[in-house]
Amino acid sequence: MGAQFAVAALADDTTTNSTEAAEIETLKQEIQKLDQKVSDLESQQQAQQPVADNADKKQIQDLDQKVRILSRERELDQDAAAAAAKTQPKITLGASGLGFSSADSNFVATIHGLIQVDSRTFSQDDHVQGNDSILLRRARPIITGTVFHDFDFNFTPEFGNATPGATSAASTPSIYDAYINYRYSPWLQLEAGRFKPPVGLEYLQTDTATSFNERSLVSDLIPGRDLGFELHGDIAGGVVSYAAGIFNGVGDNQRNTTDIGFQNDREFDGRLFVQPFKATGIAALQNFGVGAGGSWGSSSITNTLGLPNTTGGGSTSYGFSTDGQQQFFAYSATTVAAHTHWRFSPQGYYYYGPFGLLGEYVISDQGVENSTTLKTANLRNTAWEISGGCVLTGEDAAYNGVTPRHNFDPRNGGWGAWQVVARYAELNVDSAAFPTFASATTSASAAQAWSLGLNWYLNRNIRVNASYSHTTFTGGGAATATTAPASVSSHPESVFFTRVQLAF
């Protein structure tokens, strides 16, 4: 029984083994099939991968080209814009005015402007009526520029009440500067038109940069703007400056107002100014300058054109006038200019850091004739001045003015530049003028003036200043006189000035 079971069991085992083997074989075949499928799939995938890579690569290359093209187009557009900009006129607007320039800078025009609103308040002058005033001292639209690179021009009309001593309230527009300047080089230039003759240092200083509202007594003996031709230039970068010209000729403290000259004779003016240390490294001396100006002219006929005011009373002609622009000297009505008139003016300045000094002396030797008595004389009038200043806020003082380091901007702590200035000046009339050529009872024979001032430069364009001037006279009018020059010269003049200035 046991053996049968054993055989049967063995037979069962044999049957079971056969079935398992078949199943295993089947599974093996399945696995092989799956392996083949996997292999096939892997092959397929491997075969498809380069195609996908190539497509991606192509797409990347195309995109790369597009980016490069766009980048290059932008580059070319920028180049084209830069090239176009080189041919376009330029417009600039800033502290120096409104400028227009051709692309090559050969043609330039700049619009500038100057407005000065002044006040003059005289004290202890009840004998002179109506001289306290708020006035438009200067109102000038200024056009400067260049044509064909080398030809500069300046056109400056005046709309303000610019005539010192004028009693009329009317402001008569007139042309102050109108000239053309050919610039061959900095050292050789030729100027033609109406401009300041090259004589006085203070007079040549620009109106926006003078220390006080009005120039000193020295300017009473200096020729004002005139019509003529002038050769001038700066040598060695301004170490030497020269100017020499021929002009119609104007009297002391007069300017040509007629656009022509009604006399046959001309006046020769010239000036040489040296700044010997300008090109050196000696900072303390770089802005030291000294020189001399002068003029010579003659009248073949006697006339009044060459004289300062002869009518008295403060007409529209210039006279010898005070800081307050009141006439203190006038020739007699019978006095005419005759023969020669020459001037000589040694002059100099020194600027170092915030400090500045300016000094000038002038001799004006005027030939005159009394048209009634026919007596003649050469009257040698003289004047001198010295002025100085200190910029309290530390900026550099200069002949051309002060530029504030910090513009006025109280919200950000900017207060502009502040400067104190002082001046003393004298004018002496030749004693031979009295009584034949001028009245000793109406005109002073000398004037002495001192001035103190405070200048506030808010920025490059705006300046506000206040000053006080006191002038005393030698000789002059009676205390009861009511018309200039007698009324002016009868008492010392004390005047308080203010000014608000816009210059660009």
Per-residue contact track with another protein, 213 to 242, x per CB under 8 A? ------------------------------
Q: If binding is defined by CB under 8 A, does position 90 make contact with another protein?
A: no
Q: Closest separation between CB of residue 68 and another protein, Å? A: 5
Q: Which is nearer to another protein, 28 or 72 (CB)?
A: 72
Q: Is 312 exposed, middle or buried (0-12, 13-18, 19+ CB in 10 A)?
A: buried
Q: Is 168 in the site for another protein (CB under 8 A)?
A: no
Write each residue from 474 to 493 as x if it is in contact with another protein (CB under 8 A), else as -, in one continuous string. --------------------
- State how far the alpha carbon of 74 is from the alpha carbons of 50, 67, 83, 84, in Å: 36, 11, 14, 15
Per CB under 8 A, 149 contacts another protein: no
Would you count residue 27 as binding another protein (CB under 8 A)? no
Residue 69 CB, nearest approach to another protein (Å)? 5
**In the block, which residue shows the tokens 């770089």?**
286
Nearer to another protein, 64 or 409 (CB): 64
State yes or no: residue 71 binds another protein (CB under 8 A). Answer: yes
> Which of 12, 73, 259, 409 touches another protein (CB under 8 A)?
73
Q: What are phi and psi of 489, to 5 degrees?
A: -80, -5
Q: Which residue, among 69, 70, 149, has the nearest Cα to 102 in the 3D structure?
A: 149
Residue type, 212: F
Q: Is the Cβ of residue 7 or residue 80 nearer to another protein in the bound state?
A: 80
Does 76 interact with another protein (rule: CB under 8 A)? yes
Smallest gap from residue 51 Cβ to another protein (A)? 18
Q: Is 15 in the site for another protein (CB under 8 A)?
A: no
Q: Does 68 bind another protein (CB under 8 A)?
A: yes
Q: Residue 108 contacts by C-beta under 8 Å, 6 or more apart in sequence?
A: 99, 100, 101, 102, 145, 146
Q: Would you say 25 or 53 has its CB closer to another protein?
A: 53
Residue with tokens 């814009």: 81
For residue 494, CA distances in Å to 223, 293, 328, 485, 491 come to 26, 31, 14, 16, 9
For 6-43, give the secondary structure using H, E and C. Answer: HHHHHHHHHHHHHHHHHHHHHHHHHHHHHHHHHHHHHH
Work out whether strand 226-235 and strand 335-352 pair parallel, antiparallel, or are unpaired.
Answer: unpaired
Does 80 engage in binding with another protein (CB under 8 A)?
yes
Which H or E run contains 52? Answer: helix 2-87
- CA distance linking residue 428 with residue 382, whole number of Å: 5
Q: Which of 72, 90, 149, 375 binds another protein (CB under 8 A)?
A: 72
- 74 binds another protein, rule: CB under 8 A: no
* Using rule CB under 8 A, residue 77 touches another protein: no
What's the min distance (Å) between Cβ of 386 and another protein?
A: 51
Selected range binding another protein among 67-75, 193-201, 323-331, 482-490, rule: CB under 8 A: 67-75
Q: How far is the CB of 183 from another protein (least distance, A)?
A: 20
For residue 486, give the H/E element and its range: helix 486-489
Q: In the complex, which residues of this chain contact another protein (CB under 8 A)?
A: 65, 68-69, 71-73, 75-76, 80
